[in-house]
């Protein structure tokens, strides 16, 4: 930590000591203008930070922290291709996929443009019926086979923007549990179904297992071996492996090591998006993200939407002890946003040491969770309002969402705004006593009706659920995630933690198959408890 950052840290601790006794409502009483001041806008997004426990002093300290920690330079470094993924010695150039700083990377830009041209050609041929299945009938359905970053982004976007006129119906299968694929395929016609095998590494067990099962389904329906390739497209860095698997070269689209899986929906990894929604929607999505990149590069900190989001999250987690962050979209079309953000933020920033291996001085990313707001209200909001855990939250309200009737959409908006206000104001002991008295509660029982409120959160208004706004929203969260990583001193682009479980699963497989420990199995893999559970599984499954 630089001296400047250390001094700012001490000042933020002092500010926290002072502010933690204050209520956000009283901050509004003395400063009604804060709603206009503490907000950032860009490309159809307005983020209102005024319901955070902050004042001008903290706001200013956070802005100074951004400069002490060189956040603008860090972002400039990301887009020009510095090796920000330090443990894997490579850049993270997702911004280039939408054309940001294209002139700085002539070779990669050519590769990106070439891939986009190939994607567009393929999409046009499929939509136009030039590329068909083995019976020469046009495709009606596309099934994306992928997991993690090869699933969550495209799944979210396809669901958010789906229309009855969609050129193809999109389906997503991620789970290695065959129930997932079998359930999806049960409703589909094999002659008119296209599969996109989406795997950056082309080694992911879940995806390859589902791809094999899909191929067997086509074969069982009568697809001749020489026509199977017509039903598959691969998206991967391992084009040779995909070809060896049986997908023709012209149907293998590239992605690159310099794009992280969870940041890759803008590449061919997102192919299912234009297949399902049309090429123009995909272009607009990229355009929205590019505009947000530009905003992030050019805006001063106080107006910089993702930078302020990151600084506020840092304030919440580091100084106000929020250990979870709820994402609460008030729109059915955003139902998969939280799943997408879980991987983006937790796989990126769920780290415990800095890029130089120093243990972190504070917690890293908060646990991100949530669901569509109205559904959550009838489930876990009770804990938000009266539980003992501290949290921060994003309430997201698209101003226009879908074509549903106005009264229902009005009610949705009323709930979003009501919850945002309720999280702030709560219910005071006096109000609780008044209500409790009507129910015949004694003084002590009335405490059950108290709601502390004072929960810091952001209210994000989004112009409409359009490709442009979604592109901007996702890019904003991508950059927020990166800025938070810089503030924490961690690498947002590796994920060493997820490998251990994969290795152990590979070692357990032989025992589940044969009942014997493979000679290569580390004895620690089958500790007594794991062995006991594995035996129970064999008993139930191996007759």
Q: Summarize as ranges the residues that interact with ligand F6P (CB under 6 A).
A: 147-150, 199-201, 204, 207, 261-262, 347, 495, 498
Least separation in angstroms between CB 339 and ligand F6P: 13
Positive or negative: CA dihedral 468, 473, 478, 479:
positive
Pick between residue 200 and residue 295 the one whose CB is nearest to ligand F6P: 200
Q: Tell me which of 443, 502, 503, 513 is the catalytic residue.
A: 502
Report the distance separating Cα 468 and Cα 465, nearest Å.
8
307 and 490 Cβ atoms separated by less than 8 Å: no
53 and 59 Cβ atoms separated by less than 8 Å: no
C-alpha torsion 173→178→184→188, nearest 10:
120
Q: Tell me which of 206, 347, 468, 478 is the catalytic residue.
A: 347
* End-to-end CA gap in the chain: 61
Report the distance separating Cα 478 and Cα 307, nearest Å.
11
Element (H or E) spanning 47, and its range? Answer: strand 45-48
Pick between residue 262 and residue 325 the one whose CB is nearest to ligand F6P: 262
- Largest Cα span, the chain: 79
**Known active-site residue 298:** no
Q: Exposed, middle or buried: residue 56 (CB in 10 Å: 0-12, 13-18, 19+)?
A: exposed
Strand 169-173 and strand 45-48: the pairing is unpaired
126 and 240 Cβ atoms separated by less than 8 Å: no
Least separation in angstroms between CB 87 and ligand F6P: 14
Residues with Cβ < 8 Å from 540, sequence gap 6 or more? none
Least separation in angstroms between CB 267 and ligand F6P: 11
- Point out which residues pair with 489 in neighbouring strands: none
Alpha carbon separation from 36 to 46, 57, 491 (Å, rounded): 11, 16, 34
Least separation in angstroms between CB 205 and ligand F6P: 9
Least separation in angstroms between CB 199 and ligand F6P: 3
Pick between residue 148 and residue 329 the one whose CB is nearest to ligand F6P: 148
Element (H or E) spanning 233, and its range? Answer: strand 232-236
Least separation in angstroms between CB 278 and ligand F6P: 25
Pick between residue 261 and residue 274 the one whose CB is nearest to ligand F6P: 261
Element (H or E) spanning 275, and its range? Answer: helix 272-277
235 and 121 Cβ atoms separated by less than 8 Å: no
- Burial code (b: 16+ CB inside 10 Å, e: under 16) for 302-340 equals bebbbbbbbbbbbbbbbbbebebbbbbbbbbbbebbbbb
295 and 43 Cβ atoms separated by less than 8 Å: yes
Pick between residue 60 and residue 209 the one whose CB is nearest to ligand F6P: 209
Pick between residue 152 and residue 309 the one whose CB is nearest to ligand F6P: 152
Count the alpha carbons within 13 Å of 68 in the hemisphere toward its beta carbon: 18
Least separation in angstroms between CB 478 and ligand F6P: 14
149 and 270 Cβ atoms separated by less than 8 Å: no
Q: Tell me which of 378, 499, 539, 543 is the catalytic residue.
A: 378
Residues with Cβ < 8 Å from 50, sequence gap 6 or more? 28, 34, 35, 37, 38, 39
**Known active-site residue 284:** no
**Known active-site residue 336:** no
Least separation in angstroms between CB 149 and ligand F6P: 3
Pick between residue 65 and residue 259 the one whose CB is nearest to ligand F6P: 259
Element (H or E) spanning 288, and its range? Answer: helix 279-298
Least separation in angstroms between CB 483 and ligand F6P: 20
Least separation in angstroms between CB 316 and ligand F6P: 26
Query: For residue 40, which of 59, 23, 53 has the smallest C-alpha distance?
Result: 59
Pick between residue 98 and residue 262 the one whose CB is nearest to ligand F6P: 262
Report the distance separating Cα 96 and Cα 90, nearest Å.
14
Pick between residue 148 and residue 366 the one whose CB is nearest to ligand F6P: 148
CB atoms within 10 A of CB 417: 14
Residues marked as catalytic = 347, 378, 502
């Amino acid at each position: 930590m630089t001296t400047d950052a250390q001094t700012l840290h001490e000042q933020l601790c002092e500010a926290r000591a002072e502010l933690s006794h204050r209520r956000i409502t009283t901050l509004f009483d003395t400063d009604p203008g804060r709603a206009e001041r503490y907000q950032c806008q860009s490309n159809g997004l307005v983020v209102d930070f005024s319901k955070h426990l902050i004042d001008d002093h903290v706001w200013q300290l956070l802005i100074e922290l951004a400069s002490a920690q060189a956040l603008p330079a860090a972002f400039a470094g990301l887009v020009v291709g510095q090796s920000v993924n330090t443990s894997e010695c490579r850049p993270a150039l997702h911004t280039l996929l939408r054309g940001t700083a294209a002139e700085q990377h002539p070779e990669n830009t050519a590769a990106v443009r070439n891939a986009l041209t190939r994607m567009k050609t393929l999409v046009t041929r499929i939509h136009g019926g030039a590329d068909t299945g083995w019976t020469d009938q046009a495709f009606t359905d596309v099934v994306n086979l992928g997991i993690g970053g090869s699933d969550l982004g495209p799944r979210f976007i396809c669901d958010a923007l789906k229309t009855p006129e969609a050129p193809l119906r999109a389906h997503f299968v991620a789970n290695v549990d065959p129930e997932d694929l079998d359930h999806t395929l049960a409703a589909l016609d094999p002659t008119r179904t296209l599969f996109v095998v989406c795997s950056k590494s082309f080694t992911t067990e879940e995806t390859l297992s589902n791809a094999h099962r899909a191929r067997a389904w086509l074969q069982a329906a009568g697809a001749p071996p020489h026509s199977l390739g017509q039903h598959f497209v691969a998206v991967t860095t391992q084009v040779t492996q995909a070809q060896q698997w049986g997908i023709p070269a012209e149907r293998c689209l590239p992605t690159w090591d310099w794009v992280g899986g969870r940041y890759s929906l803008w590449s061919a990894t997102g192919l299912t998006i234009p297949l399902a929604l049309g090429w123009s929607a995909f272009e607009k999505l990229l355009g929205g993200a590019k505009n947000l990149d530009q905003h992030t590069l050019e805006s001063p900190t106080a107006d910089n939407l993702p930078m302020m989001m990151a600084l506020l999250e840092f304030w919440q987690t580091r100084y106000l002890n929020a250990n979870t962050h709820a994402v609460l979209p008030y729109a059915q079309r955003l139902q998969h946003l939280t799943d997408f953000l879980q991987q983006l933020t937790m796989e990126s920033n769920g780290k415990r040491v800095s890029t130089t291996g120093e243990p972190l001085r504070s917690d890293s990313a908060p646990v991100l969770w949530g669901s569509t707001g109205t559904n959550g209200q009838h489930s876990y909001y009770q804990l938000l309002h009266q539980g003992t855990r501290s949290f921060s939250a994003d309430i997201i309200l698209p101003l226009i969402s879908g074509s549903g009737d106005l009264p229902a959409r009005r009610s949705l908006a009323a709930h979003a705004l009501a919850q945002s206000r309720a999280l702030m104001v709560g219910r005071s002991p006096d109000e609780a006593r008044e209500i409790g008295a009507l129910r015949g509660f004694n003084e002590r029982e009335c405490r059950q009706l108290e709601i502390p409120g004072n929960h810091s959160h952001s209210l994000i208004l989004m112009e409409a659920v359009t490709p442009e706004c979604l592109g901007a929203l996702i890019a904003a969260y991508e950059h927020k995630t990166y800025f938070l990583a810089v503030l924490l001193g961690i690498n947002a682009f590796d994920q060493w933690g997820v490998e251990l479980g994969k290795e152990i699963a590979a070692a357990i497989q032989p025992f589940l198959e044969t009942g014997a420990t493979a000679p290569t199995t580390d004895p620690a893999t089958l500790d007594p408890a794991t062995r006991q559970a594995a035996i129970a599984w064999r008993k139930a499954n191996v007759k």
